[in-house]
């Protein structure tokens, strides 16, 4: 049985714990064991923390990677584009720059006694579902659910920068749509699909009005395509669409993280999905 260190991050466990319980249940039912990472921290978030100090950003990330390395697992699993971006990109930098790895490991060792060895694979759950589990195995698990029109939102840091992530075509991707369709929904095309939700890079924290303008344009395009639901693969995009619609007032499209959508499709108990804490009501 495949076994992964489950990286929680911040927004999922603290603001949308339903995404966490759904992820745990979905991966269990697919025969993948998730093991908690005792003492892990924030990834740290690529928006503010990388913008402030890249040495700190890399060292805290290296600590999280070093914790996973000691667990004897097949990799570290993230359910958030931000966590994925930080852990993947820092691992990539440290694996390809021996001088940088030496510098970061010196700080890490002084602070924790641990070192990053470059032995852990960083996985995004959508990519793991597509490559390791497979679309057909997911389809076989589906017990029901409605055929709704879904606006699939990839977010930015799942696929990009694509020169190092090498998961799918960054301009015309399909892996996430294929999983959503396997779960019984129809992924509808919409104008400027693939555009940022607006929240990243510290923009949501510093200039929330600017972030919301970007969100609003995406919501307008999704509405024009007649979608019933937004499906995301990142708790930060999820927060931006879910809370953003309440501020904007003119849209009421339910927002689901893919783990919650799969939970519904696999017939898991609805009260394990934490949908009642969503600010934009989920009536599906």
Partner 1 sequence: MAEAKEPNPEFTRKVIDAGGKTVNLCFQCGTCTGSCPSGRQTAFRVRKVVRRAQLGFEEDVLPSEDLWLCTTCYTCYERCPRGVEIVDIIMALRNMAVRKGYMAEPHRKVAELISKTGHLVSLRDEDKTLRGKLGLQATPPTVFSDPKALEEVKKIAALCGFDKLVAGGAK
- Which residue number, 10 or 248, has a Cβ lying nearer to partner 1? 10
- Is there binding between residue 29 and partner 1 (CB under 8 A)? no
- Which residue number, 184 or 200, has a Cβ lying nearer to partner 1? 200
In degrees, to the nearest 5, what angle opens at C-alpha 77 toward C-alphas 276 and 9? 55
- Which residue number, 200 or 254, has a Cβ lying nearer to partner 1? 200
DSSP string, 119-162: ---EEEHHHHIIIII-HHHHHHH-------EEEEE--STTT-SH
Interacting residues with partner 1 between 95 and 134 (CB under 8 A): 107-108, 110-112
d(CA 44, CA 117): 19
Which listed residue (26, 30, 32, 45) binds partner 1 by CB under 8 A?
45
Residue 243 · residue 136 · CB < 8 Å: no
User: Would you give the DSSP letter of residue 198?
Assistant: S
Residues 220-259: x/- map of binding to partner 1 (CB under 8 A)?
----------------------------------------
Closest approach of partner 1 to the CB of residue 134, in Å: 27
Residue 78 has phi, psi (to 5 degrees) of: -115, 150
Which listed residue (55, 147, 186, 279) binds partner 1 by CB under 8 A?
55
Window contacting partner 1 (CB under 8 A); options: 42-50, 68-76, 219-227, 242-250: 42-50
R_g of the chain, CA atoms, integer Å = 18
- Is there binding between residue 201 and partner 1 (CB under 8 A)? yes
Closest approach of partner 1 to the CB of residue 243, in Å: 13
Window contacting partner 1 (CB under 8 A); options: 33-41, 134-142, 220-228, 257-265: 33-41
Please report where in the chains the tokens 């319980």 appear, as a residue. Answer: 21
Tokens of 124: 């995004």
Closest approach of partner 1 to the CB of residue 283, in Å: 20
SS3 221: helix
DSSP string, 198-213: S-TTTHHHH-HHHHHH
Handedness of CA 266, 267, 272, 277 (dihedral sign): positive
Q: Which residues pair with 256 in a beta bridge?
A: 231
Binding interface with partner 1 (CB under 8 A)? 8, 10-11, 13-15, 17-18, 20-21, 24, 36-42, 44-56, 59-60, 63, 107-108, 110-112, 156-157, 160-162, 170-171, 195-196, 198-203, 205-207, 210-211, 213-214, 217, 271-272, 274, 277
């Amino acid at each position: 049985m495949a076994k992964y260190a489950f990286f929680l991050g911040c927004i999922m466990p603290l603001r949308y714990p339903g995404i966490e319980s759904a992820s745990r249940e979905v991966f269990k039912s697919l025969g993948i064991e998730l093991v908690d990472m005792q003492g892990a921290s924030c990834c740290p978030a690529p928006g503010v923390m990388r913008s402030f100090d890249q040495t700190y950003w890399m060292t805290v990330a290296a600590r999280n990677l070093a914790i996973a390395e000691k667990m004897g697992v097949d990799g570290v699993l993230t359910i958030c584009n931000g966590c994925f971006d930080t852990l993947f990109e820092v691992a990539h930098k440290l694996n390809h720059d021996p001088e940088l790895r030496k510098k970061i490991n010196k700080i890490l060792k002084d602070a924790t006694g641990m070192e990053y060895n470059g032995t852990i694979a960083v996985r995004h759950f959508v990519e793991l579902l597509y490559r390791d589990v497979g679309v057909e195995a997911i389809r076989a698990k589906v017990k029901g659910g409605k055929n709704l029109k879904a606006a699939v939102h990839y977010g930015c840091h799942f696929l990009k920068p694509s020169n190092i992530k090498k998961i799918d075509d960054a301009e015309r991707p399909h892996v996430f749509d294929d999983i959503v369709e396997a779960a019984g929904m129809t992924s509808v095309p919409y104008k400027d699909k693939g555009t940022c939700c607006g929240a990243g890079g510290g923009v949501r924290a510093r200039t929330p009005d600017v972030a919301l303008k970007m969100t609003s344009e995406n919501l307008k395009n999704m509405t024009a395509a007649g979608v019933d639901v937004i499906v995301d693969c990142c708790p930060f995009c999820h927060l931006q669409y879910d809370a953003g619609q309440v501020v904007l007032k003119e849209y009421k499209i339910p927002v689901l993280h893919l783990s919650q959508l799969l939970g519904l499709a696999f017939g898991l108990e609805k009260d394990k999905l934490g949908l009642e804490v969503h600010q934009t009501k989920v009536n599906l």
